[in-house]
A = this chain, B = another copy of it.
């Protein structure tokens, strides 16, 4: 029995090149000897690794693990594994990590970091590297991407508050260097306009980061400014929690004095007091869909880039009520 024949018999794709009897014998022997193919040798020969790089900002951000699971769960049945790397939102680290992944010969890349620009990714894409963007839109959709429809999410929040009877609705937005920060604010503004409400720049404040501290600071300054309003759309659940803190510090109640809507539906938001009304983003589905796009691009390299927009939903809990 000779090694090339065995190789053909073991590989489902080439098994037809071998007689069924010898194929059978090889399979038997393989089982008997507990033979395990060496993926490293295979990869050296084929220049494929059945592996994709998954570039995320930080695994300890509660939004990330569901997305990672979505990726892994879709890749696994196709025989692919994911290499996970954290960038900590450091551009240099991101570049280094991506280069390291390329050295490892990953077959493709799913990039889920949120910064708005990244020339390296465009360049890699032009060089033929298979890339899918998750949670971030880049360029004019030349690179396939999967994101939540953040503008629609903001509109969902505004619609809900308007239906409750609110007319003066504030927005605490995030860094405008993040696609989420930018698009959620834009969605809020469009929705306000669509409802025929006045667009008051005084009702718009901006956080330097998606944190509770920044949320409390920015929303606190709005509360202290004397501007009148009865509800707020926060650009992020963490910011919404910061709004809670700012209200509590001023003896105001939610939703009695102020309705608050968050964004993302992170774990435990249903356990807050009050339980947070928020825009739910299906992060698992973002990851799963990104993995599907990547697998598609493996199967059909010529396929044009698709951009997938996932529709968020509103989860109504106890932080919103009609205005007093």
Known A-B contacts A72-B86, A84-B84, A86-B69; the reply to A267 vs B38 at CB < 8 A is: no
List the B residue with the shortest CB-CB distance to A68: B59
List A78-116 residues whose CB lies under 8 Å from chain B: 81, 83-86, 99-100, 102-105
List the B residue with the shortest CB-CB distance to A105: B40
Report the minimum CB–CB distance from A14 to chain B (whole Å). 20
* Docked complex Cα distance between A38 and B104 (Å): 7
Query: Interface 1/0s, chain A 167-200, versus B by CB < 8 A?
Result: 0000000000000000000000000000000000
A66 interface contact, C-beta 8 A: yes
Contact B38 A103 (CB under 8 A): yes
List A51-86 residues whose CB lies under 8 Å from chain B: 58-60, 62, 64-66, 68-69, 72, 81, 83-86
A31 interface contact, C-beta 8 A: no
Residues of B within 8 A of A58 (CB): 69
Residues of B within 8 A of A40 (CB): 40, 43-44, 49, 104-105
List A267-298 residues whose CB lies under 8 Å from chain B: 267-268, 271-273
Contact B62 A62 (CB under 8 A): yes
A32 interface contact, C-beta 8 A: no
Binding site for B on A (CB under 8 A): 36-41, 43-44, 49, 58-60, 62, 64-66, 68-69, 72, 81, 83-86, 99-100, 102-105, 241, 267-268, 271-273
Residues of B within 8 A of A273 (CB): 272-273
Known A-B contacts A86-B72, A104-B39; the reply to A267 vs B62 at CB < 8 A is: yes
Residues of B within 8 A of A44 (CB): 38, 40-41, 44
* Docked complex Cα distance between A39 and B102 (Å): 10
* Docked complex Cα distance between A86 and B66 (Å): 12
Report the minimum CB–CB distance from A256 to chain B (whole Å). 16
Q: Which of A105, A271, A273 is packed against the most chain B CB atoms within 10 Å?
A: A271
List the B residue with the shortest CB-CB distance to A54: B84
